[in-house]
Amino acid sequence: MNKNSNIYQMLYAAVMVLLVGSVLALIYMALKPKQDENIANDTRKQIMSALHIAAPDDSKVKETYEKYVIQDLLVDRDGNIVDSTKNVAFDVEMKKNVKLADRKLPVMKCVMDDGSVKYVLPMYGAGLWGPIWGYIAMNDDGNTIYGANFSHEGETPGLGARIADKDFQDKFVDKHLFLDGKFKGVVVLKKGQKSVSGAEQIDALTGATITSLGVSAMLEDCLTPYEAFLSKLQGAAPANDSKINDNQPE
């Protein structure tokens, strides 16, 4: 048979594409339920990591999560709770929740072992190569960050991918979103730079400028809508505004 005839080539290509395509589709369908479960558990792990909780082992992720996260909330931009059905915040697809005008604002309310209440706020933004997302856990004073977790789809390993490292995430702990009663958020800046707004800042990652800026933009974009909600928390919590600590890193 002539291997270089047009008919042979076309048939070869067609058969190959059909074969590979159907094999891939079959594999994808067969593995989908297992994958979805893994992805949901991974999201739970990320949320728990922002709360400094780790599941004892991989089979207990869901159980541990449900023990700590007691309520899901959706709030509006005025800080009112609009929905609190089970898993309503967990099920929000942040990818499709980007437009500011009709954005849902999910909040997960958690109770820690010592009885203190934390609020986890999810975020979603853009890194250098693809999406980045994360969770910020707030103390119930609505001002101090309790913990943070960031993930990414495909940032450069060793550079931008370090936003997923504990070293970077721990820098957010105890930062304040409000200074002197005004919402400032928190920014990621190159070491040595000073933020214009006076917001508390975190050192950017060397060699990962775009990813660092992406994290900063995501923080601003996703935390600002919660301003009213966080202000209300401050009103509810025992007032300790006077203790706001403003010793910024030099």
Partner 1 sequence: MLSKKNKEALFNPLSKDNPVLVQILGICSALAVTASLEPAIVMGISVICVLAFSNVIISFLRKTIPTNIRIIVQLVVVAALVIIVQQVLIAYNYDVSKQLSVFIGLIITNCILMGRLEAFAMHNSPWPSFLDGIGNGLGYTIVLLIVAFFRELLGSGTLFGFKVIPQWCYDHGYENNGLMILAPMALITVGCIIWFHRAHNKELQED
| Chain residues in the site for partner 1 (CB under 8 A) | 3-4, 8-9, 12-13, 16-17, 20, 23-24, 27-28, 31, 34-35, 38-39, 41-42, 129, 153-159, 161, 206-207
Nearer to partner 1, 153 or 174 (CB): 153
Which two structure tokens, joined as six digits, stand for 208? 């990962």
| Cβ pair 143, 176 in contact under 8 A | yes
Which is it for the CA torsion 119, 124, 126, 128, positive or negative? positive
What lies within 8 Å, CB to CB, of 60 at 6+ separation is none
Smallest gap from Cβ 170 to partner 1, in A, equals 15
Query: Which of 235, 223, 243 is closest to 183 using CA atoms?
Result: 223
Question: Rounded to the nearest 10 degrees, how much is the dihedral formed by the CA atoms of 90, 95, 99, 105?
Answer: 10
Closer residue to partner 1 in complex, CB, 46/143: 46
Helix, strand, coil abundance in the chain, percent, nearest 5: 40, 25, 35
Nearer to partner 1, 61 or 202 (CB): 61
Least distance between partner 1 and beta carbon 237 (Å): 36
Q: Are strands 200-203 and 186-189 parallel, antiparallel or unpaired?
A: parallel
Question: How many angstroms separate the CA atoms of 155 and 151, rounded?
Answer: 9
The set of residues, in sequence order, having a beta carbon less than 8 Å from that of 121 and lying 6+ positions away, is 106, 107, 135, 136, 137, 138, 222, 223, 226
Give the full edge-to-edge strand order of the sheet including 105-111: 81-83, 69-75, 105-111, 117-126, 131-139, 145-152
